[in-house]
Amino acid sequence: MVPHLTTALTGPLLELESRFLDHATEIEQWMRVQWRDHAPPFYASTDLRNSGFKLAPVDLNLFPGGFNNLNEVFMPLCVQAAQTAVERICADARNLLLIPENHTRNQFYLQNVAQLVAILSLAGLNVRLGSLLPEITEPTVIELDNGAKLTLEPLERRGSRLGVAGFDPCAILLNNDLSAGIPDVLRGLDEQWLIPPLHAGWHVRRKSQHAAAYDRVAREFADVIGIDPWRINPEFRTCGEINFQERTGEECLATQVDALLTRIRAKYKEYGVDETPFVVVKADAGTYGMGVMTVKDASEVVGLNRRQRNKMSVIKEGMQVQEVIIQEGVHTFETLENAVAEPVVYMMDHYVVGGFYRVHTERGRDENLNAPGMHFEPLAFDTFCSLPDLGQAPDAPPNRFYAYGVVARLALLAASVEIEETEPAEADLAD
Amino acid sequence: MVPHLTTALTGPLLELESRFLDHATEIEQWMRVQWRDHAPPFYASTDLRNSGFKLAPVDLNLFPGGFNNLNEVFMPLCVQAAQTAVERICADARNLLLIPENHTRNQFYLQNVAQLVAILSLAGLNVRLGSLLPEITEPTVIELDNGAKLTLEPLERRGSRLGVAGFDPCAILLNNDLSAGIPDVLRGLDEQWLIPPLHAGWHVRRKSQHAAAYDRVAREFADVIGIDPWRINPEFRTCGEINFQERTGEECLATQVDALLTRIRAKYKEYGVDETPFVVVKADAGTYGMGVMTVKDASEVVGLNRRQRNKMSVIKEGMQVQEVIIQEGVHTFETLENAVAEPVVYMMDHYVVGGFYRVHTERGRDENLNAPGMHFEPLAFDTFCSLPDLGQAPDAPPNRFYAYGVVARLALLAASVEIEETEPAEADLAD
């Protein structure tokens, strides 16, 4: 079951997917050289939007949840890619400590953790789960709805090494995005591999740094296959300090929103797109779809009411929004039985290992689909992303999924560049 | 559809597969370290025999045909593994020349070539086919039964580089086992990657060198998981010069056959195996099931009749048998609808990427299944080899296929060691 792409503009879309198809070999060659020069993250997921005239990533997650949503037929790809990822870190690796998010009741998240444990075990690692939760003071077994069990254990710091009781890992894999900052227990672990590195956590990471890296990657790639980079690149602007509660910075925000909307209008005109441009204002540091606002006119960001200001001010773990990114909105024109379907692509090392659609089933007419806590049903990709088929139409499933995989890998590459460029001097992390 | 293992001795089998299951993580760790120390071949296939009390490789092919027989759901694994293999050779690789066997009418083989071209193209290579056949003097299109087309082109040697018209590859992949010796056109290609290296061809390669390397690999591995290496290792003996036509060397052969049969009898007694031991006498250099004789008593190799001598004397490309290997026979107790089913496992780089059963459907009561040109139907593995499942019985399909994958990788590792050890001094190949 593959969502239907409902857009009047199949022309430009087929042209974009045709370009990917016609240049598939060149694309893979170009990718190969990029991965020679840039170390891929251990794992990542990216949210794509497909408007028919534009196929672009809108977010890249370096602490991916949702591995439980992948088609089980992709499992061997995950294991094979995880083996490569582990070899890249350390061929001698035996013990790995996985630090999950602090959700002990979210069954969906816990099933993701169980799936990650399964993948890493099959790749030849002894895996234990260390929890950052202070209430985990002894090994705690959590039973999952699907019958599986997870054991969360209290972290044990021994000098410059971190582990759990009787378990000294050579690598620590974070599945916790550190939105609340770096816990002391994770600092100064010089002898162990910390994956991803601490500066990839949301306490340091900025969407705008990723967007800037993606902008460069997209331009270089677009040049290789001869397309307008705009077709795969959501443009963006940033504002400096903004305090929604105190209403400082509103003017800068309005100016940038207006400038970006003007730019999008010009591109829509160039491509004959008859849609209403919009931008998305997001916290520059943050995740979980909180602190996100869809804007179609600059006037909307001036004089926000209390509810709107509260919404934009607080993101995960109660952090205050201070910097925002204004990102070009990309319409979602993929639907499944009238519900919007948005692809999420999963990668391990530099391989695409699967994905799923977030199918936003409407719960009520008055509900904003972009609201926090929005409900979606995962629909696993039933087709691989690495098998484009020139014998089929450019929008046939293998070819559409190939296009997803290409754009997802561009976002992954941008993340590699971003992590390289934001690597702090050693002294900065030692504090 | 998975063949049934019919043996009265499920005890030892389940014990062997249980060992693999219980030590799966350790096995993957051990493998990872081996592949750090040994470069895997680009690709290979291995024939396994499963007698219930013994699971062992009996042949390792460094020029695998049969990629067309794999389950199409394994295709992404092949592509991902091929990407790794290409990165290992040269990240800059763009053009690859594939040199197939000289079969222009064997549809099965040609479909294998077409499948290899597809895999390598999806991995990001421009692939062209260069033929060693003298009659290919211009690009020749061959239509396959499945509608695909292949273009065979004459090789063009330009100084120290080999290619086809207008195509200068950086790598040359042999799918031709060089049984007839090294063609001059392949000598001295110092600037290009030749895969596998020339000394892996059957003009140089000896089964006994592989068996010796496998013997060491199997012993080391058996020690890691605490099993008797005999459970995975077909023992072997060799004889020096033998001329079947002139009946020289028969006595040595009889002595070695007897010694090996005596050894097998002792092991059968140790394990309570109530089967008749047998050995297989094969040409030490050779392939294609020619020059193979099954022997249950040393007297059978003395005083061979003309037909038998002829059979043992000529292998592929008309080469004369001079050296033989005497290999412990491993009974095949896997059957599918009363036909014997033998697993063949495929690997690219150090990954298992699929496999199939050779199902020997009986064409007539009087027909010897081991005869040259024997008929088989391929039955693709419908289960992956990398997903052992502790929640299922040791002989459940995922676990049996995992065992296949482990033993196949041991044979692959032995091939790596063998290729390292037999690498000639540069001067030797320059002639």
Q: Is a pLDDT exceeding 80 seen at residue A411?
A: yes
Helix locations, B226-330, DSSP H = 250-271, 306-313
Which chain B positions have a beta carbon within 8 Å of A121's beta carbon?
24-25
Name the average pLDDT for chain B.
88
Q: How far is CA A329 from CA A16, A128, A263, A307, A372, in A?
A: 19, 40, 12, 22, 17
Give yes or no for residue B318 having a pLDDT over 90. Answer: no
Contact flag A25-B80 (C-beta cutoff 8 Å): no
Query: Between the CA of residue B425 and those of B421, B428, B429, B430, what are the distances in Å?
Result: 11, 6, 7, 9
In sequence order, the 6+-apart residues with CB closer than 8 A to the CB of A380 are A69, A70, A71, A74, A354, A355, A356
Q: Radius of gyration of chain B from Cα atoms? A: 21
CB spacing of A125 vs B29 below 8 angstroms: yes
The string of DSSP letters for B359-428 reads EE--S-TT--TTSTT---EEEE--S-SS---TTS-TTSHHHHHHHHHHHHHHHHHHHHHHHHHTPPPHHH
What ipTM was predicted for this assembly? 0.89
pTM higher than 0.80: yes
Length of chain B: 431
> How far is Cα of residue B247 from the mean position of the Cα atoms in its chain?
30
Which of A308, A334, A339, A302 shows the shortest CA–CA distance to A321? A308
Domain boundaries defined on chain A: 1-62+206-234+331-431, 71-203, 240-329
Residue type, B403: A
Sorting pLDDT into bands at 50, 70 and 90, what band is A399?
very high
Q: What is the pLDDT of residues A138-186, one digit of tens each?
A: 999 999 998 889 999 999 999 999 999 999 999 999 999 888 789 999 9
Contacts of A128 in chain B (CB under 8 A): none
Give A-chain residues touching B126 at CB under 8 angstroms: 25
More confident residue, A57 or B15: A57
> Per-residue pLDDT tens for B235-258?
999 987 787 777 788 888 999 999
Residues A77-127 pLDDT 10s: 999 999 999 999 888 889 999 999 998 889 999 999 999 999 999 999 999
Residue B307: closest CA among B318, B293, B324, B322: B293
Top-confidence residue, A321 or B307? B307
* Options 1.20.120, 3.30.1490, 3.60.21, 3.40.50; CATH of A240-329: 3.30.1490
Which two three-digit tokens encode residue A142?
């959590």
pLDDT score recorded for residue B366? 36
Q: Give me the residues of A, 76-105, that contact B with CB < 8 A.
A: 76-77, 79-81, 83-84, 86-87, 91-94
What count of other Cβ atoms lies within 10 Å of the Cβ of residue B109? 18
Task: Give the distance from residue B132's alpha carbon to the nearest chain A alpha carbon, in angstroms.
Answer: 26
A126: alpha, beta or left? (left if phi > 0; alpha if psi -120 to 50): beta
> Using a CB-CB distance cutoff of 8 angstroms, which residues of chain B are in contact with residue A75?
384, 387
Contact A81 B83 (CB under 8 A): no
Contact residues, chain B, for A27 at CB < 8 Å: 124
Interface of B with A in 333-362 (CB under 8 A): 351
Residue A410: partners with Cβ closer than 8 Å, 6 or more residues away: A57, A214, A217, A218, A221, A232
pLDDT surpassing 80 at residue A187:
yes
Provide the percentage of residues in chain B whose pLDDT is more than 70: 89
CA B118 – CA A286 distance, rounded (Å): 42
pLDDT digits (tens, 9 = 90+) for B107-158: 999 999 999 999 999 999 999 999 999 999 999 999 999 888 999 999 999 9
pLDDT at position B370: 45
Q: What is the pLDDT of residue B405?
A: 97
Q: Check B35 against A87: CB less than 8 A apart.
A: yes
What is the C-alpha separation between A396 and A403, in angstroms, rounded? 11
**pLDDT above 90 covers what percent of chain B?**
63
Element (H or E) spanning A175, and its range? strand A171-175
Residue A71 contacts B, CB cutoff 8 Å = no
Among B27, B76, B92, whose Cβ lies nearest the Cβ of A387? Answer: B76
Instruction: Look up residue B208 and give its two tokens.
Output: 């006994």
Considering the domain B71-203 in this protein, what is its CATH number? 3.40.50.11280
What is the distance between the alpha carbons of residues B2 and A327, in angstroms, rounded to a whole number? 53
Q: Which residue of A has its CA nearest to B348?
A: A80
**Per-residue pLDDT tens for A22-38?**
999 999 999 999 999 99
Alpha-carbon torsion (A412, A418, A419, A421), positive or negative: positive
Helices marked H in A205-334 — which ranges?
207-225, 250-271, 306-313
